[in-house]
Structure 1
Amino acid sequence: MLSREDYLYFTDRALDGMAAIVVELGDERANRAAYPGANSPYALLHHCLCVIETWVGGFVRGRPIDRDRDAEFTATGPVELLVERCATVRAQMHTDVVDAHPEQFLLQEPPADFLGPPTRLTQGGALQHVFEELAQHHGQMETLRDVLAAAPVRPLETA
């Protein structure tokens, strides 16, 4: 059985890697799609933070959930603020994982439109789903970084 410490080690590695990618890319590149139909690295990290807040904070720990999943993939903004939010969400996740009961069922059941696993999950299962999302999107961001790092810098459009 995976310990809480081991779990947090691997989730931290994914979050640290994603945060490093958006910092490396900077505001302009981190907010840009590498190719048509791709998500920006900024949006992917934002999405992952929402996944943590929803699945760990909401379904595992029982806090209220207010989520617009579709909007997560169009999020933009300053990298510095996203990285600060990443540190805050990560710290809360550490507390929540320590307080979780992996063998017990979720305190809230996910709605069908949250696109999680199509089975009733334990708290441990939901935590594994969070790691699945973090690992998947970290790898995706590494590929996007490689494409975006080679692209010329353009000024960030402001509304």
Structure 2
Amino acid sequence: MVTTGGGTPDDDVLVSVILEKFDELVALVASCDDATANAVPAAGRPEAMNSPIQLLVHTCGMMRRWSCSVNRGLPVPRDRDAEFTARMPAAEALALASRTRADFRDDVASTDPDAAPAAVPAGREHLWTGSCRGVLLHVFEEICQHLGHAEITRDMLDRPGR
């Protein structure tokens, strides 16, 4: 179980579930060879599709943006557009994911879930930005969305004729 910085047992459960879903995304990429991990399905509009690597890289950027830049007020450099064009060996993406997971855990341990986020981006004031806990709920929402997207992508890549 992950311990939050002064949070409740429910906060610890939230962080554990966030990391569980993140680990599922990491395992999905780990199960792919480099070509599959960087491929996009040919169906529909391939230019609008994302590879498993792109989804993992984007998820890493998203997690640190919200856990560190927003909740803690410590800017983490990020090129969101580049996340969606990323191509790299799966091992490189998995190393990024490992660093992101460790940094996310450190961010959470250094954050009071009841406190207001330190740096909510302009135009991103939502019900969930009222507390660091709410921001973590948003991280959970985003990871679930991207995990589902990656699962559908992998299933499409696994079928004959891609």
Task: State the TM-score bracket (shorter-chain normalisation).
Answer: 0.7 to 0.9
2:63 is equivalent to residue 52 of structure 1: yes
Q: Distance in 2 between matches of 1:49 and 1:122?
A: 21
2:79 aligns to what? 68
2:128 is equivalent to residue 122 of structure 1: no
TM-score, length basis structure 2: 0.83
Unaligned runs of 5+ in 2: 1-7
- Kindly indicate whether the alpha-carbon contact (under 8 Å) linking 2:11 and 2:133 is maintained by their aligned counterparts in 1: no
Q: Distance in 1 between matches of 2:102 and 2:116?
A: 23
Deviation of 1:150 (Å): 2.4
Deviation of 1:151 (Å): 4.7
**Out of 55, 73, 90, which is 2:101 matched to?**
90
**Out of 34, 46, 52, which is 1:27 matched to?**
34
Tell me the amino acid that sits aligned with residue 5 of structure 1: D
- How many percent identity over aligned positions? 31
SS in 2 for 1:124: helix
Aligned positions, number = 150
SS in 2 for 1:25: coil
Tell me the amino acid that sits aligned with residue 24 of structure 2: G
Unaligned runs of 5+ in 1: 154-159
Closer/same/farther in 2, CA of residues 136 and 7 from structure 1, 3 Å limit:
same
